[in-house]
Structure 1
Amino acid sequence: MRRTIIKESIDLFDKKGYSKTSIQDIVDKIGATKGTFYYYFNSKQELLRDIHLSYIQDLLQEQEVILQDPNLSCKEKINKIVYLIISSIRTQGKNARVFSREMRHLEEEHIRHVNSIKREFRLNLQKVLEEGIEKGEFRSDLRSDIVIFALLGMVNRSYSWYNPDGEVTEEELVNIYMDIIVNGIKK
């Protein structure tokens, strides 16, 4: 039931927004009572926190698997992490939109916690880039932190416009992003 509450709440938050979704809306959608909701969550705020934590922690765990693969070059690791984010649009698109759009509704302590995990994800990616610079895979004249902020900014905004069932495949989108980051746009 907890998973059902989370899943249906993500759908409602995506459609109506967090602030316009009531606990009554949630229980009506799942065909339960408020007592059922409060058995699993103390508040709507706690539910939103859990949605955020679950989303970013899942990405972090999947990122860790990629980072630990000794057979991948740094470029391949970055490519796989970008693909991880893009491919999750198909299965986690609503969750990603709620994650980025509704974070402003979290209480400050929850924002700090979520941001610490986001920071870990970003710094892991930055370490891969820096390792690639040391190994000669990437240019050494750019700031790694700025490159990673640019990469994540570009990739994370894809949730707002990219349609995985549209004319551009996930692989094509990742290849375009990687080409822009690795090779730039100059002729």
Structure 2
Amino acid sequence: MPEPAADESSGIGRRRALARRERNASWLERREQILAAAADAFRAKGYQAASISDIATRLGSDRANVYYYFASKEEIFLALVRQAVESNVADVEAAAEATGSPTDRMLRVIEALAASYEQHYPYLHLYVQEDMRRLSDDGSEAEKHLRDCSRRYDDALLKIAREGVRSGEFRPDVDPQMLKFAVLGAVNWTHRWFTPDGPMTGAQIGRAFSDIFLRGFIREK
């Protein structure tokens, strides 16, 4: 069951709405602190198991302080991942509509997606870590938005894969759907091992993946 949201008609709900309109420096700073604590809680316990209380504990505060900034756990999660997800959707949709070759556009998507894991660390990792089907199914706007972003990303990537096969640039026996799954599976798995202080940057990982997808890994004789 989703954790109860703080009622917008309550006193704390009204104060939260007023603070959001003002958005002063101290409010923004505290909001970022709450998001950092939430990211830590979600990564450690998973979205379902983590609670507002867990976030408050990491913050060194109480639940009321968290609810002053966010109405629910789901709203916090969306705030964490929304910018990263929307940025990636914009990248892939721009590539899908570009005039370059399907090969160049596919490589552009792979490299942009891998680089985004560094740019949006750790928030994009949270998005991939959580199976969207396991999030609340109450039909909220937050849930609908994340699911729509996922659908748009898949559709744009599949469009590039299909155009590559249709144009003859990709092998005719390649299933566009499987190519989409291969790209997403490879790059998204970096959420299990990538850290910004690792031996490769996100961009370098993207180029390495692009080279493997384009040239394979079997040495030519």
Q: TM-score range by the shorter chain?
A: 0.7 to 0.9
In the aligned structure 2, how far is the partner of 1:64 from the partner of 1:130? 14
Structural mapping, 1:1-187, within 5 Å: 1=28, 2-19=31-48, 21-27=50-56, 29-30=58-59, 34-70=63-99, 72-103=100-131, 105-108=134-137, 109=139, 113-187=145-219
RMSD: 2.9
Distance change >3 Å, CA 170–CA 90, structure 1 → 2 = closer
Partner of 2:13: none
Please list every run of at least 4 consecutive aligned residues from structure 1 whose deviation after the TM superposition is greater than 4 angstroms: 28-33, 110-113
Letter in 1 for 2:55: I
In the aligned structure 2, how far is the partner of 1:26 from the partner of 1:116? 27
User: In the TM superposition, what whole-angstrom CA distance separates every residue of 1:3-45 from its partner, at most 9, and x where no partner exists?
Assistant: 4433431133223433554424434555665444324322213
Letter in 1 for 2:101: S
In the aligned structure 2, how far is the partner of 1:34 from the partner of 1:171? 39
In the aligned structure 2, how far is the partner of 1:182 from the partner of 1:51? 33
In the aligned structure 2, how far is the partner of 1:113 from the partner of 1:170? 26
CA offset at residue 112 of structure 1? Answer: 5.8
- TM-score normalized by the length of structure 2: 0.68
SS of the residue 2:170 aligns to: coil
Identity %: 27
What number of residue pairs does the alignment pair up?
186
User: In the TM superposition, what whole-angstrom CA distance separates every residue of 1:63-120 from its partner, at most 9, and x where no partner exists?
Assistant: 33444443x3322222221112211222323212321223465202365653332121
Q: What stretches of structure 2 of length at least 5 have no aligned partner?
A: 1-27
- TM-score normalized by the length of structure 1: 0.79
Q: Is residue 49–residue 106 contact of structure 1 (8 Å, CA) maintained in 2?
A: no
- With 9-18 and 145-154 compared, the bigger mean Cα shift is at 9-18
Partner of 2:19: none
Partner of 2:23: none
In the aligned structure 1, how far is the partner of 2:193 from the partner of 2:129? 14
Letter in 1 for 2:187: V
Q: Is residue 112–residue 203 contact of structure 2 (8 Å, CA) maintained in 1?
A: no
